[in-house]
Chain A
């Protein structure tokens, strides 16, 4: 297989663009895709301070590398989820990545901030681990962005993440989520602007970039992800893509083009009616989801007001 641009030996085949690239041309293609997303969706400028949520996986570490190359001002933030060896490895690799490149990184532990690991929270709250993890991440990422004076929060979600999420949201007609499925969510009532600069690139492209750049990332899966529906939706999307290359991208970007028509901005932002009594962030109830979760996890045994019994069965 030859590079479409320079005819030397290709290292990656990109069926949806009917293209293949050598290492050098692939690098130029990938950087251009990220640059295009940042500009087209007005994600941030050179003046912004970008808080980057880094998990230790290929996407977020590669994104950090790319944003640095493009000359943006970044600060890394890693949340240690306390999921055994997986989290130990994730934290180690993230810290090493930052140290080797002399980048600013802040690490927090969910056990310290929420009173327990993702597994503990999941048990106490009887929520699936990914839901407990999601509530904590949203709260702590947002808090970190404010703490470190950042104007925008960037995550490493890629095209596969976004297309599979879109499929799931459409299958269940999750209007509230569809309305917000935007690679550049503006700042909104105490929640910082949130952007996804990798939304044009697939998992394979991000893994290829990480390999080429010698980025040492966590290859194994989060052990909690086995029950995640998103993996199933990804499989379904990949099956469709195999038969009809380009469908994934057309599906996702077709939605983005129609999003405003389907879900017009009403101008009525309906801000959250409460200020959380514990953390003083805007909230939809007197105590926000994160603080409720934290109170349950840290409640003394026997306190049934917020906590449920820790041991069942």
Chain B
């Protein structure tokens, strides 16, 4: 899931720490996984192909904005915010 080669120059993989992994908890699926550590939240989200508007990023019980730094030693929770389903109509004619 992690693609160092797609990263942008602003956040190159950390030198000598390319093996550093960060633990991510996907709150919707309940899955825990490890990905290449990125300093910035936005870089991790890009690796995971996630739009910052569709998830909360939580570390150490605090919300992180996309420009913030991640602590490599603490698990990050990714909590999707999109709720699905629901019928498309208000269906007033459909009684």
Contacts and interface: CB of A to CB of B under 8 A. Distances in A.
A211 B90 contact: no
A151 interface: no
A interface residue count range (under 10 / 10 to 19 / 20 to 34 / 35 or more): 35 or more
Nearest to A128: B87
Contact of B85 (A160, A224, A282): A224
Contact of B65 (A11, A188, A211, A272): A11
Nearest to A227: B85
A228 B84 contact: yes
A212 B56 CA distance: 11
A174 B54 contact: no
A202 interface: yes
Contact of A181 (B28, B90, B93, B95): B90
Overall SS of chain B's interface: loop
A185 B53 CA distance: 29
Nearest to B63: A11
Contacts of A208: 56, 63
Contact of B86 (A161, A206, A226): A161
Contact of B27 (A138, A194, A219): A219
B87 A12 contact: no
A191 B92 contact: yes
Contact of A177 (B55, B62, B82, B90): B90
Contact of A221 (B52, B84, B90): B84
Interface in A172-222: 174, 176-177, 180-181, 185, 188, 191, 194, 202-204, 206-208, 211-212, 219-222
A222 B68 contact: no
A169 interface: yes
Contact of B79 (A133, A207, A226): A207
A165 B71 CA distance: 39
B94 A135 contact: yes
A241 interface: yes
A158 B2 CA distance: 32
Interface string B46-72: 000001111110100011011110000
A181 B68 CA distance: 39
Q: Which of A130, A134, A222, A231 has the most CB of B within 10 A?
A: A134
B88 A231 contact: no
A212 B63 CA distance: 9
B81 interface: yes
A41 interface: no
B53 A20 contact: no
A58 B87 contact: no
Nearest to B93: A176
Given A220-B28, A225-B84, A242 B53 contact: yes
A229 interface: yes
B89 interface: yes
A115 interface: no
Interface string A122-141: 00000000110111001100
Contact of B95 (A130, A174, A180, A281): A281
Interface in A282-313: 282-284, 288-290
Interface of A: 1, 10-13, 15, 20, 57-59, 130-131, 133-135, 138-139, 157, 160-161, 165, 168-169, 174, 176-177, 180-181, 185, 188, 191, 194, 202-204, 206-208, 211-212, 219-222, 224-226, 228-231, 234, 238, 241-242, 272, 276, 281-284, 288-290
Nearest 4 CB-CB pairs, A to B?
A: A134-B87, A225-B85, A225-B84, A207-B81
Interface of B: 27-30, 51-56, 58, 62-63, 65-68, 79-95
